[in-house]
Amino acid sequence: MKLRSCPSETDLPVIDSADVAVIGGGPGGLGAALMSARCGAKTLLIEAYGVPGGMAAVGEVQPFMISGTRQHPLDAPVYGEWKEAMLQYLPEAERRRVASATDYSNRAINKAAAALAAEDLLLASGVRLLYHHRAVAVDTADGKIRKVVCHTRGGFGVIRAKVFVDCTGDGELAAMAGCPFEMGDEDGGCQPMTLCFKLSHVKIPFVTNAEGERFMDPAWKKRLNDLYCQARAQGRVRCPREDLLVFPFQIADEGVVHFNTTRVQGFDPTDGASFSQAEIEGRRQLRELVKFLRSEAPGFENSRLMSMGVQIGVRESRRIRGLYRLTEKDFAACARFEDAIARSTYNIDIHSPHGAGTVLRDLRPGAFYEIPYRCVVPAGCGNLTVGGRPVSADAAVHSSLRIMPTAISIGQGAGVGAALAALSDTSPAEIDGRVVRKKLIGLGAELS
Ligand SMILES: Cc1cc2nc3c(=O)[nH]c(=O)nc-3n(C[C@H](O)[C@H](O)[C@H](O)COP(=O)(O)OP(=O)(O)OC[C@H]3O[C@@H](n4cnc5c(N)ncnc54)[C@H](O)[C@@H]3O)c2cc1C
C-alpha cells in the first residue's frame, strides 16, 4: 500500500537544527555522525529507538563479519573504536581474551555493550542525540530537504539542517525526498528477514585448534543440522532455511548459542502492515525452533530463551540510486576508485529470497574492491548523502557491502561528504570525492 506522508508544510515547532543531521543511529549512522562531528560540523543524530547501534543493538545481530583479516580489518577508525569501547563493559578478566584477534569472541557483540559504547563515542565527539524521534516526512523545495518532520513524545516537530544523512537502513529519508531507488534482485526479491535470538544453558562441546582457538565441535553441529533437516522434512519446523545458522556467544556466558536461523520471505519491509506480519512470522518460526531444540537436540534439553531482537532484522530493502552504481562486475574486478571511501574483501552472501539456499561468491584471498563516494550521493536531492546499507549498488554487491564494519565505513564517507558540504555551503555532489577520501585518511581510514 502506498501511504502518503503527513503534511509537512504546517508550522510545526523546530525541535533542533544543525549543520548536519544524521537520521538513524545504526552502524552507518555511527560512522556518519562521528566523522561529521570530527570534521567540525555541528552534528545531530536522530534515532527512532531509545538506543544507538541499529541492528547490533535492537536486531540482536552478531557477530561482526570481517573485511580484511582478523589481525588487520580494513574498516577504520570507527569500527575499531566501537569494538574497543565495548570492552569496558566486560569483566576485566575477559577483556584481554576478547581483545585478541585470534579469539572467536573478538567479533561477538553484546547488544547492551554495543549501545553503551556507541553512545560513549557519540557523546565524546560532541554529537547531539535525539532518541525516540522518528523521521516521518520531509519538506522539500528546489531539490533540497528544507526540514525533516519527526514524530516523538507529544507529537510532531521539525529538524532543520544544511545537509542530511540518510542512515535509516531502508533509505527512508531519500525515498521520502523523492530520490530514485531500486529494491530486490532482477525478480524483485529481497533477501529474507531474520529474527535473531539466543538460548542459554546449552551444553556446547568445544574443540580447540592448533592456534588455541575454540570452536563448537563440528561433529555436534553436523548432528544438530541433521536433526534440524529431519524436523523440517517432517514438518515440525516450518522454516525455509536450509541449515541451522548458529554462532557460539561466549562473551555473555558459557553455554549461549546465537541463532540467525529464522528465514522470513515474501514480506515488504517498506510496507508497515507487511513488516508487522513479518514480525509475527519470525516469532512463529522462533517458537517452533525452540520447541524442536529443547525436545530433540543434544545439549539443548535445559536451554533457556535468553533474548531476541526487539525487531526482525532487514537484510535488504531500498538501494538509493546514486551518482555511481556499484555492480558485481566492480566486485569481481576488484575495482579501484579515486574517490574511494571504503574497501571490502567480504564475499557476496545472498540468502535466497525465494526458499532454501545461500549464494556465496568469494574474492581471491587478499583481494578487495572499493566503494566510491559517488555511491553515497543520491541522484535527486541536493543536500543529502546516504550512509550504511542503502547505498547505490546492485543486489549482488549489496550483499557484500551490507556487513556492519563496511556499513560503518560507508557511513564515515557519507558523514565527511555531508560535513564538507555543510561547512562550505555547497552540495554533497559538488564536493570532490578525492577530497573526501583524503579527509577520511587524515581521520584514520584505511584508504592510502
Ligand atoms: C538478520 C541479519 C543478520 C546479519 N548478520 C550480520 C553479521 O553476522 N555480521 C555483520 O557484520 N552484519 C550482519 N548483518 C548486516 C548488518 O546488520 C546491517 O547491514 C547493518 O546493520 C546496516 O547498518 P545501517 O546503519 O545501514 O542500518 P541499521 O543497522 O538497520 O540501522 C538503522 C537505524 O536507523 C533507525 N531508523 C530507521 N528509520 C528511522 C527513521 N525514520 N527515523 C529515525 N531513525 C530511523 C533504526 O532504528 C536503526 O537504529 C545482518 C543483518 C541482518 C538483518
Report pLDDT for 253: 66
pTM, two decimals, is: 0.97
The answer to whether residue 42 is domain-embedded is yes
Q: Which of 22, 133, 168 is the best mutation target for the ligand 1 pocket, counting ligand atoms within 8 Å of the beta carbon and taking the most?
A: 168
Q: Which of 35, 44, 55, 79 is the best mutation target for the ligand 1 pocket, counting ligand atoms within 8 Å of the beta carbon and taking the most?
A: 55
Question: 10-residue block means of pLDDT along the chain (448 residues)?
Answer: 59 96 98 98 98 98 93 95 95 85 85 97 98 97 96 95 98 98 93 97 89 85 97 97 88 84 97 98 98 97 96 98 98 98 97 94 95 97 97 98 98 98 98 98 97
Cα–Cα–Cα angle for 24, 35, 52, nearest 5°? Answer: 30
Full DSSP string of 286-348: HHHHHHHHHHHSTT-TT-EEEEE-SS-B----EEE-BSS-B-HHHHHTT---TTEEEEE-PPE
What whole-number distance in Å separates Cα of residue 167 and Cα of residue 315? 14
Clarify whether residues 423 and 292 are in a common domain. no
Which of 261, 292, 308 is the last residue before a domain boundary? Answer: 308
Which of 279, 308, 337 is the last residue before a domain boundary? Answer: 308
Question: Which residue puts its alpha carbon closest to atom 51 of ligand 1?
Answer: 315
Q: How far is CA 54 from CA 132, 241, 309, 313, in A?
A: 13, 24, 11, 10
CATH number at residue 136: 3.50.50.60
Question: Which residue puts its alpha carbon closest to atom 20 of ligand 1?
Answer: 404
Q: Which residues contact 346 (CB under 8 A, 6 or more apart)?
A: 65, 66, 67, 400, 401, 403, 406
User: Ligand 1: which atom is nearest the Cα of residue 136?
Assistant: 41
Amino acid at 236: R
Clarify whether residues 353 and 377 are in a common domain. yes
The answer to whether residue 3 is domain-embedded is no
Clarify whether residues 201 and 245 are in a common domain. yes
How close is the Cα of 226 to the center of ligand 1, in Å? 31
Clarify whether residues 43 and 145 are in a common domain. yes
Q: CB-side exposure of 441: number of CA atoms within 13 Å?
A: 11
Helix, strand, or coil (residue 435):
helix
Report pLDDT for 5: 61
Clarify whether residues 36 and 160 are in a common domain. yes
Clarify whether residues 165 and 301 are in a common domain. no
Helix axes 404-423 and 78-87, enclosed angle (nearest 10): 120
User: Ligand 1: which atom is nearest the Cα of residue 53?
Assistant: 49
Clarify whether residues 218 and 99 are in a common domain. no
Contact 198, 316 (CB under 8 A): no
Clarify whether residues 166 and 121 are in a common domain. yes
Clarify whether residues 207 and 226 are in a common domain. yes
Question: Which residue puts its alpha carbon closest to atom 14 of ligand 1?
Answer: 403
What whole-number distance in Å separates Cα of residue 407 and Cα of residue 412? 9
Q: How far is CA 239 from CA 9, 89, 104, 193, 285, in A?
A: 46, 35, 28, 12, 6
Quote the domain boundaries for residue 403: 14-188+316-442
The answer to whether residue 8 is domain-embedded is no
User: Ligand 1: which atom is nearest the Cα of residue 387?
Assistant: 26
The answer to whether residue 7 is domain-embedded is no
Clarify whether residues 88 and 134 are in a common domain. yes
How close is the Cα of 69 to the center of ligand 1, in Å? 22
Clarify whether residues 43 and 169 are in a common domain. yes
| Residue the block writes with cell 558459557 | 254
Domain count across the chain:
2
Which of 267, 291, 308 is the last residue before a domain boundary? Answer: 308
User: Ligand 1: which atom is nearest the Cα of residue 29?
Assistant: 25
Residue 419 has phi, psi (to 5 degrees) of -65, -45
Cell of 157: 516537530
Bridge partners of residue 318, in order along the sequence? 183
The answer to whether residue 18 is domain-embedded is yes
Contact 193, 261 (CB under 8 A): no
Clarify whether residues 357 and 437 are in a common domain. yes
Cell of 126: 560532541
How close is the Cα of 324 to the center of ligand 1, in Å? 22
Q: Which residues line ligand 1 (CB under 6 A)?
A: 23-29, 46-49, 54-55, 59, 61, 63-65, 134-135, 167-169, 172, 194, 196, 260, 313-315, 388-389, 402-404, 407
For residue 128, give the H/E element and its range.
strand 128-130
The answer to whether residue 418 is domain-embedded is yes
The answer to whether residue 135 is domain-embedded is yes
User: Ligand 1: which atom is nearest the Cα of residue 57?
Assistant: 49
How close is the Cα of 233 to the center of ligand 1, in Å? 32
Cβ count near 217 (within 10 Å): 14
CA 410 to chain centre: 11
How close is the Cα of 9 to the center of ligand 1, in Å? 30
The answer to whether residue 90 is domain-embedded is yes
Contact 393, 325 (CB under 8 A): yes
Amino acid at 431: I
Bridge partners of residue 381, in order along the sequence? none
Report pLDDT for 263: 98
